[in-house]
Structure 1
Amino acid sequence: MKVLHVITGLGAGGAEQQLRLLLRHLPSGHDVVTLTNPGQVAEGLVRDGVRVAHLGMAGNRDARALPRLMRLVRGGRYDVVHTHLYRACLYGRTAARLAGVRAVIATEHSLGDAQIEGRPLTRGVRALYLAGERLGRATIAVSPAVAERLHGWGVAPHRVHVVPNGVDVSRFTFDPRARVKARAELGLPPDAFVVGGVGRLVPGKRFDVIIAALRDLPDDVRLLLVGTGPQEDALRRAAEEAGVRDRVVLAGERPHTGADPHTIDLPALLSAMDVLASPSLDEAFGLAVVEALASGLPVLYVTCPAIDDLPAGPAARAVRVPCAPASFAREIRALRDRPAADRPPSQAALHYDIARSAAQHLEVYASALGAPTTGVSTR
């Protein structure tokens, strides 16, 4: 089976990292084309032996990309085209159908109640999305919450398959040596209580709430933010205005796997933290929360379908809190005052093992091709 994955960009975002991890657990025969931004994930895919093409798309309305993509699909003789992220879904589904590929799959990574990939869900965005959806054969929703949103839009239930994101739990297992090294390189005191935040620095992630909470916490509490985005300067200003700038570290984008031994990767940064805070009001899955649980961290979250879809037992280390500085300050203070505990991976993280996700993807591909399957799990 030859599969082409079409994705909007390959910077260090959650969907991009998830694609690289997935391809590591699927059989060979998968190629990738990125419409724009061949960043660090593209470099990682190439190191993994995956063929990556860059379409060089200039913007959302660069129509020249469509015939280029169509020729690439037709020339590769692909059995399946799998698209990821909004722009790639629009162009990839169209190009695949024009090239004669009928087994067209899309993964919906970032559909929230009021936004998709950070853009407001206007009537125009929704209409364009649904027009593209009709060109495909199936859509993978990363959580039951996303599937329900798609059903509410009018997407037929039989066209939606729930396949949660996966985590390589062994990569995120707590490492005390990585903790010491990461803190030293980032200038975090060994005895500091470190609150972490992971994700795109955009208004919807609400990291400003944690900065505001820092004002009401002891001086030994630090905030470590991992990610980049358009709100970076605004968050720096918020920290200055709150008088906590010297207690906030912005670590930038970090890879999920450390190809460079001199680079502190995301698992090492999670080991350096003492709690993960996720104040976002609108999530499609909540991958950062699951990765934190794989590292044995306690988690404070506002919205996380990955946790809400599980029974209470496996998610015991994850606590839902209101999206307010006082609420986060109260819970962070309580965790800070508790004795340090061991950090084995949470059962919730084990539920989302990447090998299980990869097997479910193969089932969806087989179904789209009309081959017999054993049934696609929806949980």
Structure 2
Amino acid sequence: MKIFQVINVRWFNATSWYALYLSKLLQDAGHEVLVITVPGSETEEKAYEMGLNVETIELNSAHPHKLLKACSEVFFLIKKHKPQVVNCHRGEAFFWWGILRKIGMGYKLVRTRGDQRLPKSDFFNRYLHSKVADAVVVTNKRMADHFLKKMKLAENRLWLIHGGVDKEIFSFNPEGRNKVRKKFGFADDDIVIGMLGRFDRVKGQKELIEALAKTRTNVRDKSIKLFLIGFPTATSEHEIESWLTENGLQEITAISGKCEDVTACISAMDIGVIGSLWSETIARAALEIMVCERPLISTSVGVMPDLLPPQALVPPQDVNQLSLKLTEAIKHQDFREKLIEEHKRTMSQLSGEDFLKRTMTLYQSILN
């Protein structure tokens, strides 16, 4: 099958990861895949690292000259490669691919929405998704409900595909756990609370720090430690350290920086936390923590209610509730073990193979 994956995402975020991982799965399965992204982007760099075929077009520009140039380049690629399926992972270029689809360029069009923004339910947007696109993929039930109830999209055009994890790369690694815990000064009997994610306000590092400070006061357990697996992006490490100092956690916290072996760092946790204030429509970090059999608690944002049982969820930005949930997880090993069993059931259907199979079922259905 000949497939275009249109990933006009400048940063290597969850949307970019979802699309690139899917592209890799399709390519490894023997399909002819072309990744189309914007020049000079992290997505372009990562696509090359993954061994994917890449073309760059300035798809996000509103400048008339650049827009005309981009359209001509798109037209040339379609004529040259004759794709059977075009999958647009961002909205900026979706309209133009839709026009070419309607004038008979011979491909089927998929719109994948992996972002948190709900589309406007106006006539034009409903027409674009229901009459121009052959299918719409969403990555969480909240977005699915919006398309069905607000956008009035027919059920047979909507596909909920959560994504998946490469289980050959991500699985609990006891040797890696011991190595990382030794490197960062965690003792064997320490209870390490871990958060995996870039340093950004949306990820909720501040709320986790405040919640853990409350938990330490209530539990009075000196074995509790904090492991922040990530590196500065929108939030500086200096700001993170100031939050730690304000809450008296600087002496019990380790910051990984860019982690070469993410699986080992995840394995070093005893309890994982997703503290996001919003977003998490794909939740790559959550999937990786769960498949490594680490008990995970989270805020109830985005896709997280799809992935975790209600007893593992707290409201976003609610420091008190997060502190209580941390206390429960720290004090009760049976609670942690039950979460791990729940994670196993969830992840049994979220491998890379499952991701590929569901996507291929979609592509084949619209071609047939």
TM-score range, shorter chain: 0.7 to 0.9
Distance in 2 (CA, whole Å) between partners of 1:182 and 1:144 is: 36
* Alpha-carbon spacing, 1:140–1:316, altered in 2? closer, same or farther (3 Å): closer
Q: 1:53 corresponds to which residue?
A: 55
* Alpha-carbon spacing, 1:25–1:248, altered in 2? closer, same or farther (3 Å): same
Distance in 1 (CA, whole Å) between partners of 2:297 and 2:243 is: 21
Distance in 2 (CA, whole Å) between partners of 1:227 and 1:201 is: 6
Give me the CA root mean square deviation: 3.5
| Cα shift at 1:15 | 2.5
Q: 1:17 corresponds to which residue?
A: 17
Greater shift, 197-206 or 88-97, is seen at: 88-97
Indicate whether 1:320 and 2:285 are aligned.
no
Q: 1:377 corresponds to which residue?
A: none
Q: 1:260 corresponds to which residue?
A: none
Distance in 2 (CA, whole Å) between partners of 1:60 and 1:288 is: 33
Distance in 2 (CA, whole Å) between partners of 1:269 and 1:7 is: 29
Higher helix share: 2
Q: Note the 1:1-379 alignment, pairs <5 A.
A: 1-9=1-9, 11-26=11-26, 27=29, 28-39=31-42, 42-43=44-45, 45-56=47-58, 59=61, 63=67, 64-90=69-95, 92-94=97-99, 100-111=105-116, 115=117, 130=126, 132-133=128-129, 135-157=132-154, 158-185=156-183, 187-191=184-188, 192-216=190-214, 217=216, 220-226=224-230, 229-232=233-236, 234-245=239-250, 247-251=252-256, 263-264=260-261, 266-282=262-278, 283-303=280-300, 308-309=305-306, 319-323=312-316, 324-338=318-332, 346-369=344-367, 371=368
Contact 1:104 1:136 (C-alpha < 8 Å) held by counterparts = yes
Greater shift, 55-64 or 288-297, is seen at: 55-64
* Alpha-carbon spacing, 1:13–1:71, altered in 2? closer, same or farther (3 Å): same
Which digits, 9 at most, give the CA deviation of each residue in 1:174-227, with x for residues without a partner?
001112333455x35244433222345444433321021132225642131436
Q: Secondary structure at the match of 1:5?
A: strand
Moved beyond 6 Å, runs of 4+: 125-128, 340-345
Number of matched residues? 346
> Whose Rg is larger?
2
| Cα shift at 1:54 | 2.4
| Cα shift at 1:364 | 1.4
Distance in 2 (CA, whole Å) between partners of 1:15 and 1:100 is: 26
Contact 1:81 1:96 (C-alpha < 8 Å) held by counterparts = no
Distance in 2 (CA, whole Å) between partners of 1:4 and 1:244 is: 48
Which residue identity is paired with 1:222? L
Contact 1:90 1:132 (C-alpha < 8 Å) held by counterparts = yes
* Alpha-carbon spacing, 1:12–1:267, altered in 2? closer, same or farther (3 Å): farther
| Cα shift at 1:244 | 3.2
Contact 2:126 2:153 (C-alpha < 8 Å) held by counterparts = no
Q: Which runs of 5 or more residues in structure 2 are unaligned?
A: none
Q: Secondary structure at the match of 1:154?
A: coil
* Alpha-carbon spacing, 1:127–1:276, altered in 2? closer, same or farther (3 Å): farther
Q: TM-score under structure 1 normalisation? A: 0.76
Distance in 2 (CA, whole Å) between partners of 1:322 and 1:95 is: 43
Contact 1:8 1:36 (C-alpha < 8 Å) held by counterparts = no
Which residue identity is paired with 1:86? G
Distance in 2 (CA, whole Å) between partners of 1:363 and 1:184 is: 45
Distance in 1 (CA, whole Å) between partners of 2:360 and 2:98 is: 19
